[in-house]
Structure formats: C-alpha cells, structure tokens
Amino acid sequence: MNKGIWYGIGAYVLWGFFPIYWKFLHPVPALQVIGHRIGWSFILLAVYVLVTKQWQDFRSVAFKAKTIGIYSIAAVLLSFNWLIYVWGVNAGFIVETSLGYFINPLLSVLLGVIFLRERLRPLQWVPVGLAAAGVVYLTFVYGRPPWIALSLAFSFGFYGFVKKLSPLGSLYGLTLETGIVFPIALIYLVVVGVNGSGAFLKTGTLVDVFLLGAGVVTTIPLLMFASAAKQIPLTIVGLLQYIAPTLQFLIGVFVYKETFDLAHFIGFAIVWVALIIFAAESYFAKRAPLESIPELGEG
C-alpha cells in the first residue's frame, strides 16, 4: 500500500473522530467554536505558507478579484457547514450529521446534472432515487425533515460545486477562504471577550487547549488529504471518503448512545444500499473502457 493511500486513510480517520474532539467543547457556544476554528486555522495555514516559502506564489494566484469572489462564496458555505456540524454534534445529533456526509456524494452528482449539465448513466439514477427515498422515509421517522443532515449535505455539496469552478488547490484555497472570514471571526471573538460572554480563558484550561487546537485538527487532515489526492486515483479517494461518516455514525451510536432503533436503521440502510450501488456502478464503469482495450499482440 503506497504512502498516498495511508495519507488518505489517515485524513478520513481523523475526520471520523471529529465528534469526540468537538464534544470536549460542549460548554462553548458553537459560533464561538467556529470563530476559533477559523481564526487558528488561518493563522496556522498562513504560517505554513510562509515557512515553506510559498507566500509569493500564493499571493500571485490568490489576490485577484475573480478568485476572491469565488472563494468568498466558498468561505460562507464552509463556515455554515462547520457551524451546523459542531452544533449538531454537541446537541446530540452525531448520527444525523453522519447521514449528511453519507448522502453528500449522491447530492454532488445531482448538482452536476442540474448546474453543469452533466449526464448520468441510467444505472446512476437508481442510487440517487434510493437516497431520496431514504431521506423521505427518515422524515416520517424523525417527524421532521432531517434538516441537520440536509443542511450539511447541501452546504458541502455546493461548497464542492464552487470549488470545482475555483482555480486554487486545497492548501491555497483553504488559506484564502479562512483569510476572507478571519476578520469577521476575530471581531466577533473580541466582542464576546469584551462583553464577558467569551469562553476562551474563562472556562478552564482544557477548553482553552481544545479551542487553540481547533486550527491544528483542521489543517493536519487537510494537508494529509492534499498529499493523498496527488498520489492516488480519484476512484480510491471516492471510496475512502466513506470512512469518516462511518466512524462518526459508530461513535454516535456506540460511544454517545444516541437513539438508533429499527426504524432509523431501515432509513439508513436505504441510503447505504444506494451508496453501494453508486460505488459499484462507478467502479465497473471505469473498468469497462480499460477492459475493452486489446492487449499487445492481440488482433
């Protein structure tokens, strides 16, 4: 197994254990957690870019009006996604947050059809339809639409859509995104600190350490993923992406004992079957052209 696959597995495993990390920040309002996550992430990313002597290159490609416009949209979507996720985890909805990332790949495919006029192969419509059926079923089970899962899926789906149109790589992209919203996060944290409602330096050393570490846990898996994406095929990346929501789901059910009865299982099972069909169809569709090429010496 090459180094790229290990980097990919490492990134998704770290993302999979995110619920445990954010649970340590349960006493802190989600908006403050996101403020610190944005702030410390930008500082660490900016330092990394400077230390690795990439600042001139970053500045030359990032400081353009069109690029800043695209990444401003991406920054808003990513900040919203982070906020909903942290709030969902600490409000006791880890299982539902995992659902959002299970259905995200299928939603991304649908967004490509709607906005980029991409065409689905006939069999690809089956998992898309099954996922929609699973969401409708879970709406009846929950007594409401699974809005946390849908918010995460749509915000990350549109984030991926915007990133598809953007010119920068993962490192430069996240540096610019966090840099765009950094002033807003900083002003907010200063305001809550001055008015006495800020948690930093007031809620205990452990909370302070985890707030400071929010930037580290954001940037490390990102850099691992960026390295993996350069070394392994996207098909493998696509399969590895299910590691994170699977771990999050297991943590929600077995560590934090969230409700997951037979009715919930049926709804999730519909989505899981959809993903299995989607992955299998994608795998065989990519192999077919290769298998149709005659070997040397044939014909």
Half-sphere exposure (Cβ direction) of 87: Cα atoms closer than 13 Å:
17
According to the model, what pLDDT value does residue 235 have? Answer: 60
Q: How many CA atoms lie within 13 A of 259 on its CB side?
A: 7
Cβ neighbours of residue 122 closer than 8 Å, sequence gap 6 or more? none
pTM of the model: 0.87
User: Which residues, other chains included, contact 119 with Cβ-Cβ below 8 Å and sequence gap of 6+?
Assistant: 113
Query: Within a 10 A sphere around the Cβ of 158, how many other Cβ atoms?
Result: 20
Over residues 97-126, the mean pLDDT reads 83
Res 298 pLDDT > 50: no
Label residue 238 by pLDDT band (50, 70, 90). low
Contact 218, 21 (CB under 8 A): no
Q: What is the pLDDT of residue 292?
A: 45
Confidence of residue 209 (pLDDT cuts 50, 70, 90): very high
pLDDT score, position 237: 67
The answer to which of 5-9, 23-27, 152-156 has the lowest mean pLDDT is 5-9
**Core vs surface per residue 79-118: b (16+ CB within 10 A) or e:** bbbbbbbbbbbbeebbbbbbbbbbbbbbbbbbbbeeeeee
Residues of the chain with pLDDT > 90, as a percent, come to: 54
The ranges assigned to domains in the chain are 3-280
Place of tokens 């495993």: 13
What is the predicted pLDDT for the residue at 234?
A: 60
> Angle 145-239-263 (CA atoms, 0-180°, nearest 5)?
30
More confident residue, 233 or 254: 254
Integer Cα distance of 298 and 10 in angstroms: 42
What is the per-residue pLDDT across 35-93, written as a single tens digit (0 to 9) for each?
999 999 999 999 999 999 999 999 999 999 999 999 999 999 999 999 999 999 999 99
Please give the residue that has the higher pLDDT: either 66 or 114.
66
- Judged by average pLDDT, the poorest of 11-15, 152-156, 206-210, 233-237 is 233-237
If you compute the radius of gyration of the chain from its CA atoms, what whole number of angstroms results? 21
Per DSSP, the three-state class of 112 is: helix
What is the C-alpha to C-alpha distance for residues 36 and 207, in angstroms, rounded to an integer?
Answer: 12
